[in-house]
């Protein structure tokens, strides 16, 4: 259950990161609200997962999932260019996250 919650929390990290960017310095109320709720839920899930998973592994997986999804979202929406090196580096992050899960 902790791994499931950790993955969902990582997804929520990407949600709040995107919402933060779209809040335009907290001037957009809806984006600001999505940011606040997403950040709270994401951090709460991380805290729950850390009750049974190692802190370092939990944090690395949480950040890795959030980072990869945030960059992928930016690429899909055209906010960030897609390139072979970027995709390879994202795959390295995914490989690291999977490796941490497999070695736990």
- pTM for this prediction: 0.91
Per-domain residue ranges of the chain:
2-102
CA distances from 29 to 16, 48, 79 (A): 14, 28, 21
Q: List pLDDT tens digits, range 7-60.
A: 999 999 999 999 999 999 999 999 999 999 999 999 999 999 999 999 999 999
User: If you search the block for the tokens 């109320």, which residue do you land on?
Assistant: 29
User: If you search the block for the tokens 């497999």, which residue do you land on?
Assistant: 102
Model confidence band, residue 104 (pLDDT cutoffs 50, 70, 90)? confident
Instruction: Give the pLDDT of residue 87.
Output: 96
């Amino acid at each position: 259950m902790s791994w499931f919650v950790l993955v969902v929390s990582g997804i929520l990290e990407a949600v709040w990161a995107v919402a933060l960017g779209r809040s335009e310095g907290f001037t957009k109320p809806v984006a600001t609200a999505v940011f606040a709720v997403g950040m709270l839920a994401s951090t709460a899930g991380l805290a729950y997962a850390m009750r049974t998973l190692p802190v370092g592994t939990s944090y690395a997986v949480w950040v890795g999932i959030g980072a990869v999804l945030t960059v992928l979202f930016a690429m899909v929406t055209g906010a960030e260019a897609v390139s072979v090196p970027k995709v390879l580096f994202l795959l390295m992050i995914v490989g690291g996250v999977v490796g941490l899960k497999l070695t736990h």
